[in-house]
Amino acid sequence: EGGGNMAATGEAEAEGLCGPGTGGLALLGLAPGAPSCPHGPALLFVKTSQGKEEGRRFYACSACRDRKDCNFFQWEDEKVSETRLAAREEHNRNHQPSFTHRQNVERYKNFVLLPLSKRRFCQECQQLLLPAEWEKHSDHQFLCDISTAQLKSPSQLLYPLENKKTNAQYLFADRSCQFLLDLIIDLGFRRVLSVGTPRLHEMIQSKASQEEDFRVRSLLLDIDFRYSQFYTEDEFCHYNMFNHYFFGGEAARETCRKFLCQDHGERVIMVTDPPFGGLVEALASSFKKLMAVWKETEKEAATYYNQIGRNNQEMPMFWIFPYFFESRILEFFPSFSMMDYQVDYDNHALYKHGKTGRRQSPVRIFTNLTPSMIVLPVEEGYRFCTICQRYVSSGNQHCDICNSCMSKDGRRWKHCVLCKKCVKPSWFHCNNCNCCALQNHTCEKTDAGCFVCGKAGHKRSTCPSLS
């Protein structure tokens, strides 16, 4: 178990190999009038087979891929009785957090007034406790003497939700978080919409409260409601990035809108690090909606953005995601490019930096900013390729035939003249499959051919009939 598996699953999924049986599930998206679960409007799916849609369409929870976390399910054409509707509404109400965000903000104000000796955090309920509540939590484990420093780094205090399918909270290593923030500052941004990046948000918040001349602000959007204990309604919105749902309703939506549109939308960047199991098209659709909110007031900001080389159509964005999703992301955001920088994580043994003898991280930054502006640290081995006009990994050799630095994983790739492209160093050309593959692979059988054209030798993601 662990990151290796996650990476492998992700890679298979990115190549369209996963899903029940021989087919898979296709996402149809957010449908008007969709029923809701506790996580907002459900998404519409259809079961596919051999690349064709077939069978009934159904609604399922947008946020939880594990039925244990939310078992919402409804056929699209299903008649739902009044009794079941009422029960569902009741269920949705019961699954709301016990305190509202407002209440949590009030509780926090009272909490910080307490002397250190009375500041407790219940580890089982993941909750700051006021003295009157100690009794109720008396047989729970708790931390005491919660310092101001601890309150300023909630991501250290809260345990990371590691449920692989649903939350998958992988926190940035300090080095990567610092790198991102320095990059954001060097590019001249003043506001960061942190979507699923609590640690980046926390770094910005704590610098803003400590350093007088620090001008960057951040708004955190995350589905993890525990953060509402530490941030006001102007600093955190309870948000589901798979269906663009604000749990706090219109007021929260407006907070986000104001944040994006302040100063005519100038100097704002969105940074997101979604769970990797996530459905790329659902994420892309939400991110496009956030971009559209920004675009409303972008018009006057065009001059500034021309200066920093940004395509003036889009809100600047860093989407942090594994490299094997590159083609999926580019499908939805053709203006994006993938940077070679390897993003490291704290609680993910396998995703730490290669230089220290551990495995290399497959996680990259995708951005719509001009690649040459994303300066990667030379002391970590990145160098500037003058032909590609971007920073690349030290092992990423420029290929004269492809005319580009082709490595995706930081290792030196080799050019295959038969495939007419660069491939992983561990691959060899297989005449049977007519493409490069691992030496010990099992050759594609005709009956397990491509979903699109049915031919052997490739998967649907690389099907020649699609290009």
Residues at the contact surface with ligand SAH, assessed by CB under 6 A:
63, 167, 169-172, 196-200, 222-224, 239-242, 273-275
Structure tokens at 389: 């006009």
CB burial string 237-263: b at 16+ within 10 A, e below: bbbbbbbbbbbbeeebbebbeebbbee
Indicate whether 383 belongs to the interface with Zn ion (CB under 5 A): no
| C-alpha Rg value of the chain to the nearest Å | 24
In whole angstroms, the minimum distance from the beta carbon of 350 to ligand SAH comes to 15
| Residue 402 interacting entry, from Zn ion, ligand SAH, none, C-beta within 5 to 8 Å by type | Zn ion
State which residue, 112 or 443, has the beta carbon closest to Zn ion: 443
Distances (CA, A) of 434 to 225, 427, 463, 466: 50, 13, 13, 18
In whole angstroms, the minimum distance from the beta carbon of 401 to ligand SAH comes to 37
Query: What is the 8-class DSSP label of residue 349?
Result: G
- Alpha carbon distance 247, 225 (integer Å): 10
In whole angstroms, the minimum distance from the beta carbon of 52 to ligand SAH comes to 29
In whole angstroms, the minimum distance from the beta carbon of 432 to ligand SAH comes to 41
- Alpha carbon distance 314, 295 (integer Å): 7
| Residue 436 interacting entry, from Zn ion, ligand SAH, none, C-beta within 5 to 8 Å by type | Zn ion
Question: Which long-range contacts link 49-57 to residues 24+ away (Cβ below 8 Å)?
Answer: 49/21, 49/22, 49/23, 50/22, 50/23, 50/451, 50/454, 51/451, 51/452, 51/460, 53/26, 54/23, 57/28
User: Hey, is 366 helix, strand or coil?
Assistant: strand
Strand 427-430, strand 245-246: pairing:
unpaired
- Alpha carbon distance 339, 332 (integer Å): 17
153, exposed or middle or buried, with CB in 10 Å at 0-12, 13-18, 19+? middle
State which residue, 79 or 420, has the beta carbon closest to Zn ion: 420
- Alpha carbon distance 432, 462 (integer Å): 17
In whole angstroms, the minimum distance from the beta carbon of 272 to ligand SAH comes to 8
Indicate whether 398 belongs to the interface with Zn ion (CB under 5 A): no
Query: What is the 8-class DSSP label of residue 384?
Result: E
Indicate whether 453 belongs to the interface with Zn ion (CB under 5 A): no
In whole angstroms, the minimum distance from the beta carbon of 388 to ligand SAH comes to 27
Q: Which of 46, 416, 453, 456 binds Zn ion (CB under 5 A)?
A: 416
**Closest-CB residue for ligand SAH?**
196
In whole angstroms, the minimum distance from the beta carbon of 352 to ligand SAH comes to 13
| Residue 169 interacting entry, from Zn ion, ligand SAH, none, C-beta within 5 to 8 Å by type | ligand SAH
Stretch that binds Zn ion, among 256-264, 282-290, 315-323, 427-435 (CB under 5 A): 427-435
Q: Which of 10, 16, 24, 39 binds Zn ion (CB under 5 A)?
A: 39
Q: x/- string (CB under 5 A) for Zn ion, residues 433-452?
A: x--x------x---------
In whole angstroms, the minimum distance from the beta carbon of 40 to Zn ion comes to 8
In whole angstroms, the minimum distance from the beta carbon of 239 to Zn ion comes to 14
Indicate whether 422 belongs to the interface with Zn ion (CB under 5 A): yes
Give me the residue label for tokens 């007519």. 434
| Residue 223 interacting entry, from ligand SAH, Zn ion, none, C-beta within 5 to 8 Å by type | ligand SAH
Cβ–Cβ under 8 Å, residues 16 and 324: no
- Alpha carbon distance 128, 142 (integer Å): 9
Q: Which of 25, 185, 187, 430 binds Zn ion (CB under 5 A)?
A: 430
State which residue, 180 or 437, has the beta carbon closest to ligand SAH: 180
Cβ–Cβ under 8 Å, residues 419 and 435: yes
Indicate whether 456 belongs to the interface with Zn ion (CB under 5 A): no
Distances (CA, A) of 267 to 118, 184, 192, 367, 373: 42, 10, 9, 15, 15
| Residue 387 interacting entry, from Zn ion, ligand SAH, none, C-beta within 5 to 8 Å by type | none
Helix (H) or strand (E) holding 209, with range, is: helix 198-210
State which residue, 127 or 169, has the beta carbon closest to ligand SAH: 169
Which among 372, 439, 373 has a CA at the least distance from the CA of 405?
A: 372
| Residue 429 interacting entry, from Zn ion, ligand SAH, none, C-beta within 5 to 8 Å by type | Zn ion
Give me the half-sphere count of Cα atoms (radius 13 Å) on the Cβ side of residue 255. Answer: 20
State which residue, 218 or 397, has the beta carbon closest to ligand SAH: 218
**Site for Zn ion, rule CB under 5 A:** 37, 39, 61, 70, 72, 399, 401-402, 415-416, 418-419, 422, 429-430, 432-433, 436, 443
